[in-house]
């Protein structure tokens, strides 16, 4: 085959060899270009909504908190949101790391409008889960904890607004955990309430 090609190319031996090499290089370059421009044969990637930065539990999401990434279809979790507008204004149930997909299960089932300046949304776990059945978004409550030095009840956040009442959690033994609610309160009280909710169940009084 090589001798046949060489005989078809006029000129001296070294000139024929050079021309054949150039022709082969051109064919390889063309083949590489065709392969590079060919559409992928596997499934097309899908848009996935992920956290743009670390987000704390109880965050009311803004479009700036979210970014679209394209993932292989088989790696995208079920229920992943694909539009920042679908998550904006909703409350994150648990903390999320930067780059973590935002699914429908991670968000409260209600859309939260931005509260007044200086307020924050805080997840509060109730000591009596049955009280959650008396609440709905918009309810006004006093969040009650325990004074550490005396052990007496103390109002940690008066006149807090309920943003969402989350479903009861199911533990590994089948027993339901304390109900979690999201409440809006002045930012200067939010840290104290969040810290108290980590170490103890809190109570509320309805207004």
Closest alpha carbon to 89 in 63, 55, 116: 63
Please report where in the chains the tokens 């006029």 appear, as a residue: 10
Query: Are 67 and 95 members of one domain?
Result: yes
Query: Are 139 and 98 members of one domain?
Result: no
Distances in whole angstroms, Cα of residue 206 to Cα of each of 66, 75, 77, 123, 141:
35, 45, 39, 17, 5
Query: Are 107 and 72 members of one domain?
Result: yes
Query: Are 26 and 54 members of one domain?
Result: no
Beta carbons of 156 and 193 less than 8 angstroms apart:
yes
Give dist(CA 80, CA 118) in Å, integer.
31
Strand, coil or helix: what is 41? coil
Give dist(CA 175, CA 202) in Å, integer.
19
Q: What is the pLDDT of residues 25-72, one digit of tens each?
A: 666 767 666 666 655 566 788 899 999 999 876 677 888 899 999 998
Half-sphere exposure of 205 (CA within 13 A, CB side): 11
Query: Are 64 and 126 members of one domain?
Result: no
What domain range is 174 assigned to?
115-207
| 113 confidence band (pLDDT: 50, 70, 90) | low
Length of the chain counted residue by residue: 207
Q: For the chain, what is the mean pLDDT?
A: 76
pLDDT at 142 over 80: yes
Q: How many structural domains compose the chain?
A: 3
Query: Are 127 and 169 members of one domain?
Result: yes
Among 113, 129, 155, give the residue marking a domain's end.
113
What residues contact 13, with CB distance under 8 A and at least 6 apart? Answer: 6
Query: Are 136 and 155 members of one domain?
Result: yes
Enclosing H/E stretch for 197: helix 187-199
Among 113, 140, 157, give the residue marking a domain's end.
113
Residue 121, token pair as written in the block = 């949304």
Query: Are 97 and 67 members of one domain?
Result: yes
Residue 82, token pair as written in the block = 């694909």
Query: Are 122 and 57 members of one domain?
Result: no
> Where on the phi/psi map is residue 170: left (φ > 0), alpha (ψ -120 to 50), or beta?
beta
Where residue 70 sits, what CATH number does that domain have?
3.90.1210.10
The more confident residue out of 69 and 129 is 69
Query: Are 63 and 97 members of one domain?
Result: yes
- Output DSSP code: residue 202: B
The sign of the dihedral angle between the CA atoms of 62, 57, 142, 127 is positive
| 175 confidence band (pLDDT: 50, 70, 90) | very low
């Amino acid at each position: 085959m090589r001798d046949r090609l060489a005989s078809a190319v006029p000129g001296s031996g070294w000139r024929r060899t050079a021309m054949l090499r150039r022709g082969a290089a051109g064919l390889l370059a063309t083949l590489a270009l065709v392969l590079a421009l060919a559409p992928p044969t596997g499934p097309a990637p899908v848009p996935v909504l992920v956290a743009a930065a670390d987000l704390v539990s109880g965050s009311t999401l803004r479009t700036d908190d979210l970014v679209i990434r394209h993932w292989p279809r088989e790696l995208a979790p079920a229920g992943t949101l694909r539009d920042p507008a679908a998550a904006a204004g909703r409350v994150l149930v648990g903390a999320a790391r930067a780059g973590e997909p935002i699914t429908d299960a991670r968000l409260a089932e209600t859309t939260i409008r931005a509260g007044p300046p200086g307020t924050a949304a805080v997840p509060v776990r109730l000591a009596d889960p049955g009280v959650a059945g008396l609440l709905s978004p918009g309810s006004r409550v006093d969040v009650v904890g325990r004074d550490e030095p005396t052990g007496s009840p103390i109002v940690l956040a008066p006149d807090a607004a309920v943003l969402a009442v989350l479903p009861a959690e199911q533990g590994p033994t089948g027993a339901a955990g304390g109900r979690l609610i999201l409440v809006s309160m002045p930012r200067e009280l939010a840290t104290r309430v969040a810290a108290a909710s980590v170490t103890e169940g809190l109570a509320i009084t309805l207004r």
